Amino acid sequence: MASHQRSASLPSRLHSTESNVEEELHGLRSCISSPSATIGTMCDGLRRLGEVYNSIEEIMFLPSNQAGISLHQQRKMVEEELDMSLLLIDLCNAMQESLSEMKMSIHELQLLLKRGDSVAVHNKIESFVRLAKKAQKMPFKKTSIGAISESCEMIRLLGEAREMAVSVLESTSLLLPKQIAKNSASKWSLVSKRFQRRNVVVCEEQQLQELEHSMGDLEDGAEFLFRRLIQIRVSLLNILSS
């Protein structure tokens, strides 16, 4: 009787975890597409997405899914997802490196500000903005997941998570220049127009500290997601080789 209860609970557990993943992905989609989305929204999104991958990995190791992967069609889908996951890992790593560069640029900007070198400060601000715009040019390529939606639930969830990961990274890259370019009334303003006289550029130290902290949070979020992507790839490879 106890054995029957355990076996009966597996489909219920699977359905519950899958529903949680779907719900979380839907919530993420709403957050990052909101006009009021901020850098904090993206930081939270990166971490929530990492947790989504943890839940998908739990689904992957349920006996029913591992048995299903032995089928030729589903095995081929897993192999295709592995190929696409490598592209996502590269994209996430590139974003992480870009955020690290921006954070370092802000740190250098603060040092220049303390030295009172207005020309160097102005040049560093322009360099920082160029780094932010460069992030927008990353290859945020999305692929269709409709063909696998009814044949393998686990792969469908992986595909949806991958699409969401690309969306979060792309939205982050698009948001950065907008946040930086806001006028002096915004807390994200790098340059206060009140002090732009005779080519003298004065940056507000508190704003720079906040921006450096935000870049650090984004970098940590991207690193967290990167580790989860690596882990999910290793797990898929282990399942295929078992």
Distance CA 114, CA 27 (A): 43
Euclidean distance between the first and the last CA atom of the chain, given in angstroms as a whole number: 31
Listed range (80-94, 106-120, 130-144) with the worst mean pLDDT: 130-144
- The two structure tokens encoding residue 93: 């790593």
- Per-residue pLDDT band for 195 (boundaries 50, 70, 90) equals very low
Is pLDDT above 80 for 165?
A: yes
Q: What kind and span of H or E run contains 145?
A: none
> How far from 177 is each of 47, 82, 91, 129, 190, CA to CA, in Å?
22, 32, 19, 7, 11
Contacts of 39 (CB under 8 A, 6+ apart): 172, 175, 176, 179, 214, 217, 218
Distance CA 109, CA 103 (A): 10
- Summary mean pLDDT of the chain: 78
- The amino acid occupying position 206 is Q
User: Percent of the chain scored above 70 by pLDDT?
Assistant: 75
Mean pLDDT, residues 30-35 taken together:
90
- The amino acid occupying position 173 is S
- The amino acid occupying position 142 is K
Q: If you search the block for the tokens 């982050």, which residue do you land on? A: 172
Give me the helices (H) in 116-152, please. 118-135
Listed range (107-116, 179-188, 219-228, 231-240) with the worst mean pLDDT: 179-188
Contacts of 96 (CB under 8 A, 6+ apart): 219, 222, 223, 226
Listed range (10-14, 79-83, 89-93) with the worst mean pLDDT: 10-14
| Domain definitions of the chain by residue range | 38-97+203-241
Is 52 within 8 Å of 21 (Cβ atoms)? yes
Is pLDDT above 60 for 190?
A: no
